[in-house]
Structure 1
Amino acid sequence: MSRRTRFIDRLTQPAGTLPALVWAACILLILALTVIGFPKGALSTDILDLLPSSSADVRTGELAQAATRGIADRVIWAVREDASNPGAADEFVRSLWERELVTSLSGRMDEADRRIWLEAMRRDVLGLLDEKTVSGLLGDKAKGHLRWMLGQLYSPVAGVTGDEWRADPWLLLRSVMMSQGRGMPTLDDGWITAKDSDGRSWRLLTGRVPVSALSGDGLKAWIAAEADIRRAVLSERPDAAIAGQGVLYYSHHAASQAEGDMKRLGSLSCVLLAVFIFVAFRSFRPVLLCLLSVSAGALCGTAATLAVFGSLHAVTLVMCLSLIGISADYTTYYLMRRRWAGGIETPAGTLVHLRPSLLHALLTTVTAYALMLAAPFPGLRQLALFAVCGLAGAWLTVVAWFPFLVKGFPVRPLPARSLLSAYADAWTQGRLWTKAFLVLFACVSVFGVARLSVNDDLSALQTPPVRLAAEEKVISSLLGIGFSQTWFAATGKTPDEAVQTLELLRPKLHELEKEGFISRPVMVPLRSLDVQEKALAAMKAAEPSMTAKLAPPCEGSGCTPYGTVKLASWLAGPLGDNYRSLVARTSEGVVILVPVTLSAGKNAAEAAAAAAAGIDGVYWLNRRADFGELFSAFRLGLTGLIAAGLAVLGLMLVKLFGARLGLVASLPVAGGLLAGLAAAGITGTPVNLFSLFALILVMGIGVDYTIFFHSEEGAGSADEPRDHVLHAMAVALGSTLLSLGILVLSETPAVRSFGLVLSAGVLFAFLLAPATRLITRRNTYREERPR
């Protein structure tokens, strides 16, 4: 006897008290370990946590992570004053500091701040030179810059004072300020200000939030406090407005959306399932038994996921609502047979009879979920592990405990017996409407599949709220930049090498901007040490020319009080505050990020990638496009996996039922897959990777119906009627739809698509299961039942 045969034989032996006690001890231990060891902040809400931790290119993936970390704690606000009652910006800033919602905040400059900022500009001006100034200094003994200086000194409107000239003999600070001022926000009444398309002034603020506010309860508290401040500021100023932009707003939206789904859908699913099971069995005990098996499964799934991943994603929990109905199936099959056969067999005998079918059902469903463990998406791997362990826990609960918990379970007539029997009989008798149903199903399926669309865009995972999108649009228009996840990354082993790489990238960025491929790159303005040293040398060499043409404000070396500045010291000063998030450490050195906004043209991304490819140490990061390509590649791979999985299930059914019946029995599963795709096409829901994972589950659940229908009902006779089988399948379907169908109401597009495809697929897998009688056998169902 083979090991596999001995293992199956042991699984199908009658249950004893020892397995029940062992499983009870395991459940108590798992519960204790989960409660004691549940980590703080174990619920993840960031939608990007569902995605791969890195791209196929490990280096590019690490740079992308550095980019997202750099902006995680940054918030930009724009405040529009009420002309009749000003002071909104002042009160807003004061409240942010009072409630400790920021660790740093820039946007308003008093006289002391302006002096500090001006001194830093003068000290570091050599590192901030624009292209025009650099070319003027380095070309032909600085003649270009000297001509510009003459124009500034003798212009009646330039306003160069003697103090300015003495402090800055080459007027470099003036040149830098003029270059940065073109199209940039201005300083108005001490505030950094920009105007919108209607000419209204907005005061701009940039802040960093505490680390505690980036996740969990801290994020909730921060959002609530910030909303309170907004309401208080705007309540007395009806014409004022406040707009905010930051990653934490979207993280909170994702968390709130998932939490709302869990509370609303989870509660509704549990209530409807309890009512449905009570109506089906007309007893409270099945409801309690169902709750027991589902709770045990949920505990096992949660413990396993936390042990392996250390956290649970909120979207994963929402999708795991589907397990409520699936794990309840094992309870349904067992109790339905007890209700029918309670007077002719013992509880242990019922388990011996059903255990092979229950085991096959568990293995096929678990196999379908286990396929997700190969997915590159942490959220789906969490779902797979939760499902495998959760379903196994629910199955073991039924097998180990139910024979002891169903003693005295009442034997009653099956509800809706005539309706379900008539449906099964119609297929056996080959009535006309059954054939018409198949023809209609085929036509509608072809119509739905023909309307299918594919969307591998990352944005399909989540729909941004209208308010946040509108506020982001306001700030984008004021700053002239977008907030899409597209960056250039200039790398180096040291900070100075990274700045040197950025120097090589500058002309490429100007060229891309001039050609309209990108707009307003946000770039660390510091020049490389090489450029600074060349400019300094050119200024010293041109001192005789400046002395001859201009009356020098000082003599000798004092005429050039300029020095070079390095990245680390510049970032530590007041000028580098707003740029620190663009510089990060990596395993190979330092990266300087340059966020850019791509134009709407199709070739913009290709042009940006080509520009980066031509410079050593420069990378193009387009996370949205990268994940779109990854989604597409895995979607195509999963399509092949589904086809292979269908073939494997067909072989399994052939092994169980023989060649003819096994092949025919696989048709309802294929029909369920077709129905899921057709439902997506008819409703206009784009197909993506999550839709295909739903199809994998349709195979795992749909094959359960086939296995139970043919293994439990197929050998029916007058001595052993099988009315309970179709009734058990119908109750199992109802419980599954009440959990899976609920996901269609989710506010998260990915979850909604998952629920729609899965619900339609399992529904038609059930409806088509009796259709195999048209091919496999002609004896009527009524002849199998006692009169």
Structure 2
Amino acid sequence: MTTVNAAPQAGGPPGWRQRAVVLIAWLLVLLCGAVVIARTQIGADLSAFLPKSPDLRQRVLIEQLQSGVASRTLMLGIEGGSAEQRAAASRATAKVMRESQLFDLIQNGDVGDWSEAGTWVFQHRYQLSPAAVPGHFTAEGLRDAINETLSMLGTPAGNVIKPFLDRDPTGETQRIAMELVPASSPRSEDGVWMSRSAPRALMIATTRAAGSDLDAQAVAIAKVHAAFEAATREMGEAKPKLLLSGPPVFSVMSRDKIKTEAIHLAIVGGIVMGVLLLLAFASPRALLIAFLPVATGVVIGTASVSLVFGSVHGLTLGFGSTLIGETVDYAIYYLIQARGANVAGTGWQRWRDLNWPTVRLGLLTSVCGFAALVFSGFPGLAQLGVFSIAGLVSAALATRYVLPMLAPDGATGMGMRRYMAQLAGMLVRGLPRLRWPLAALGVAALGLVLWQGGHLWRADLGAMSPVPKSAQQLDEMLRNDIGASDGGVLVVAYGDDDQAALQNTEAAAAKLDALVDTGELVGYEAVTRVLPSAATQRARIASLPDAATLQASLAEATKGLPLPASRLGPFLADVEAARKQSPVQRADLAGGPLGSVLNTLMYQRPGGGWATLLVLHPGTKFDQGRLEAALAGTTDVQVVDVGRELASLYQRYLHEAFVQVLLGALAVVVLLGIYLRSWRRLLAVCQPLVFAVMLTLGGMALAQAALGILHLVGLLLIVAVGSNYALFFDQLRTTGRADEDTLASLMLANLTTVVSFGLIAISDIPALSSIGRVVAPGALLALLLSAAFARRVAPSVRRT
């Protein structure tokens, strides 16, 4: 009777129980990773690439990018069809959007839905009106105000003013309403905004969700499309079309594009490499096994980032495509190098003893390199570091423990590997003769890079954005049509509580008023126009005279005017009632008809306290230097030049990345030195990596490419991939013979890496293409240079 051994025999294949335990544990880990990924939020906002310990201006900038009004603003254009159709579509779309409760503020020039807001302003006009000062209610002040109101009766606004003349003869409501109209709003036609330069209806909306909540932003954008579709469904074939832009559109578009591109690259790269591996192994089973470490690395890498950071940036997700190029190498090394064992089922043990130490050392050098990124002060860069380390380690462990359970003797078929080994043998024999010319070329490349200096590293954060030029041009066109602030300069007032923030806003507004008077600003928007500080409201209420004093002043003021004091009894009663009103509080306004204005311009800061945003509308004479000078010394008010701050941050980002890369390189050298215990061997291993990096940078300099952060990440990948080649050649050099299977595995691993990163290089996502354009040539150079400097390796021999 035959029994099945539960444990592996010495020198034999793994037993069934060991296989079951390893495979079940591996599947459970993958399942847990998949569960984490299913609950992961994917982000695409640039704030992930801003520092996590910012200074004051940087903190203001990050708050605005994450939840400020600029990050939540949508701009709509409706073109095509007739003018009547465009106006009707604008009104119907805005109505559905307001009913959805997904938006804080919707403006399209239609004042039909503002009656409730007008009533609220009328009831609180003396608390809100900046004209409510003691001199305003003297006989002279009343006369001037009444005359100004009467002069407006003959204008288009007269029909609105006339019904309220007896109660508001000084025009406080009209004054407040004029302040709430955007300083540079479009022209109005048929009751809605229209472009001054094209037959196009216009609308601007602010989403209620934070700019960083991309799922909610996607829902709001979908609601806009659905509302417009419903509004134009009955308009026939020549119906208007919708143009939609703004930061929420860019963020959602970037996330979706990155996800789509990552999937596309994974599929295309998988197919191409699958064909290569199938040709090399001549075995579908070996092909399937080869992709298991890849899948493990991507799943565990993504899940690790989610657990550490709470979300995964889209660029980090896209970066998963780049892992295919390296993690498949581990499987290739095993499947080829474990074959040909003398005793069936023992190839995995021979590979474990002979080749795994080299693979493990290559893995550790990669981990050392990427570990520097983990401690970055920029969350986006730290995510790439965590993803890379977790992905590479899990892929290597899957190769070490899972693949021997599935293919104890590697891939038995030969396929094209014999020809790859022969080609590798030719390189091993021929390239060492070129080592001095290659070294001279590397030195020349280094000289070119040093000569170009900082001009070579001139990319910026915008270079990471996948938003196409056409979308950026549409955004600029709609922004110009609407007259919306481009957000290039932010003025933010903040305080420990809401009242302090409002008082600081009022102080800043007083300085901005002077710039409006000189024409440097067309105007500005401030929350204090609907919610003045409690102190200001009390002062305005205190300026209201008692009934007897007001009646006497009013009698004198109206002498000779067509509006006699006898008609103004309601005005006297309203002023007396206003003297007893309490200041409007933020909570009172939040639930009212003007709560959308409050939510747009005032927010609670993540670290505590409150802040308000003053939206500027620059004039033709605008000078940022004079703006900063005017606001200098104003308590807790910051002027932030977004472009300048982003450029400054990026330079800090780039400098920190350089330091981290150098520290990572130093850690790699130290690790290799400890393991190799020979400065000659250390030099032999490091030489090809250094020259591969130098030649790659030289090629980028010749191509006049603008290098940035992700090119640095690509250089780290060259070292990570190339260290495996250099260490295997060091292993062959120490034995003095070039094993055919080892050479074949190096050739195939390099081919799949170059093809993988070559596909990434032609990606539509600039961040991914930047990595691909560095790693594809760099990995090839690393292999060729490793062979060139391996001058003591004997010709390739075929092992039977």
TM range (shorter): 0.7 to 0.9
| 1:98-137 alignment, distance < 5 Å | 103=102, 106-107=106-107, 113=113, 115-129=115-129, 133=131
| 1:610-621 alignment, distance < 5 Å | 614-621=633-640
Report whether the alignment pairs 1:695 with 2:715.
yes
Consecutive unaligned residues in structure 2, runs of 5 or more = 1-10, 560-564
Tell me, yes or no, if the aligned pair for 1:31 and 1:299 is still in contact at 8 Å.
yes
**Identical counterparts, % of pairs:** 20
How many Å apart are 1:369 and its aligned residue? 2.0
Distance 1:175 1:252, change over 3 A: closer
Determine the structure 2 residue equivalent to 1:7. Answer: none
- In structure 1, how many angstroms separate the alpha carbons of the residues matched to 2:586 and 2:739? 80
Q: Deviations over 1:559-578 (max 9, x none)?
A: 73545544443443323423
3-state SS in 1 of match to 2:78: strand
Report whether the alignment pairs 1:729 with 2:743.
no
How many Å apart are 1:16 and its aligned residue? 6.2
Distance 1:580 1:212, change over 3 A: closer
Distance 1:300 1:204, change over 3 A: closer
Report whether the alignment pairs 1:637 with 2:650.
no
How many Å apart are 1:69 and its aligned residue? 2.2
Distance 1:54 1:427, change over 3 A: closer
Greater mean deviation of Cα atoms: 662-671 or 609-618? 609-618
How many Å apart are 1:732 and its aligned residue? 1.5
- In structure 2, how many angstroms separate the alpha carbons of the residues matched to 1:671 and 1:643? 15
Tell me, yes or no, if the aligned pair for 2:26 and 2:402 is still in contact at 8 Å.
no
Determine the structure 2 residue equivalent to 1:3. Answer: none
Report whether the alignment pairs 1:781 with 2:787.
no
- In structure 1, how many angstroms separate the alpha carbons of the residues matched to 2:385 and 2:626? 39
- In structure 1, how many angstroms separate the alpha carbons of the residues matched to 2:163 and 2:410? 101
Which of 469, 472, 481 is the matching residue for 2:472?
Answer: 469
Distance 1:265 1:73, change over 3 A: same
Determine the structure 1 residue equivalent to 2:568. Answer: 554
| 1:473-492 alignment, distance < 5 Å | 473-484=476-487, 486-492=489-495
Tell me, yes or no, if the aligned pair for 1:716 and 1:784 is still in contact at 8 Å.
no
How many Å apart are 1:735 and its aligned residue? 1.9
Determine the structure 2 residue equivalent to 1:426. Answer: 430
3-state SS in 1 of match to 2:634: coil
Determine the structure 1 residue equivalent to 2:456. Answer: 453
How many Å apart are 1:548 and its aligned residue? 1.8
Report whether the alignment pairs 1:500 with 2:503.
yes
Greater mean deviation of Cα atoms: 536-545 or 740-749? 536-545
- In structure 2, how many angstroms separate the alpha carbons of the residues matched to 1:343 and 1:383? 43
- In structure 2, how many angstroms separate the alpha carbons of the residues matched to 1:608 and 1:16? 75
How many Å apart are 1:640 and its aligned residue? 3.1
Determine the structure 1 residue equivalent to 2:395. Answer: 394
3-state SS in 2 of match to 1:573: coil
Distance 1:276 1:601, change over 3 A: farther
Distance 1:447 1:516, change over 3 A: farther
Report whether the alignment pairs 1:765 with 2:782.
yes
How many Å apart are 1:145 and its aligned residue? 6.7
Report whether the alignment pairs 1:298 with 2:315.
no
Tell me, yes or no, if the aligned pair for 1:361 and 1:703 is still in contact at 8 Å.
yes
Q: Deviations over 1:409-447 (max 9, x none)?
A: 43746213443222221233x25xx64455455545654
Greater mean deviation of Cα atoms: 476-485 or 497-506? 476-485
Report whether the alignment pairs 1:326 with 2:331.
no
Q: How many residues align?
A: 757
- In structure 2, how many angstroms separate the alpha carbons of the residues matched to 1:624 and 1:111? 35
Paired amino acid for 2:512: L
How many Å apart are 1:709 and its aligned residue? 0.9
3-state SS in 1 of match to 2:370: helix
Paired amino acid for 1:572: G
Which of 522, 545, 564 is the matching residue for 1:540?
Answer: 545
Determine the structure 1 residue equivalent to 2:7. Answer: none
Paired amino acid for 1:722: D
Consecutive unaligned residues in structure 1, runs of 5 or more = 1-12
Determine the structure 1 residue equivalent to 2:726. Answer: 706
Give the CA RMSD over aligned residues: 4.1
Determine the structure 2 residue equivalent to 1:380. Answer: 381
Greater mean deviation of Cα atoms: 242-251 or 18-27? 18-27
Determine the structure 2 residue equivalent to 1:47. Answer: 45
Distance 1:427 1:466, change over 3 A: closer
How many Å apart are 1:360 and its aligned residue? 0.4
Distance 1:557 1:140, change over 3 A: closer
- In structure 2, how many angstroms separate the alpha carbons of the residues matched to 1:395 and 1:64? 38
Q: Deviations over 1:656-701 (max 9, x none)?
A: 1622332243121112222333343344432222222222232222
How many Å apart are 1:327 and its aligned residue? 1.3
Paired amino acid for 1:588: G
| 1:259-270 alignment, distance < 5 Å | 259-270=259-270
TM-score (normalised: structure 1): 0.83
Distance 1:353 1:613, change over 3 A: farther
TM-score (normalised: structure 2): 0.82
Paired amino acid for 1:393: S
Tell me, yes or no, if the aligned pair for 1:66 and 1:584 is still in contact at 8 Å.
no
- In structure 2, how many angstroms separate the alpha carbons of the residues matched to 1:783 and 1:114? 84
Tell me, yes or no, if the aligned pair for 2:81 and 2:238 is still in contact at 8 Å.
yes
| 1:153-168 alignment, distance < 5 Å | 153=150, 157=154, 163-168=163-168
Distance 1:629 1:227, change over 3 A: same
Tell me, yes or no, if the aligned pair for 1:82 and 1:237 is still in contact at 8 Å.
no
Determine the structure 2 residue equivalent to 1:69. Answer: 67
Which of 756, 760, 773 is the matching residue for 1:739?
Answer: 756
How many Å apart are 1:242 and its aligned residue? 3.5
3-state SS in 1 of match to 2:789: helix
Paired amino acid for 2:686: S
Tell me, yes or no, if the aligned pair for 1:14 and 1:352 is still in contact at 8 Å.
no
How many Å apart are 1:244 and its aligned residue? 2.9
How many Å apart are 1:710 and its aligned residue? 0.9
Distance 1:475 1:529, change over 3 A: farther
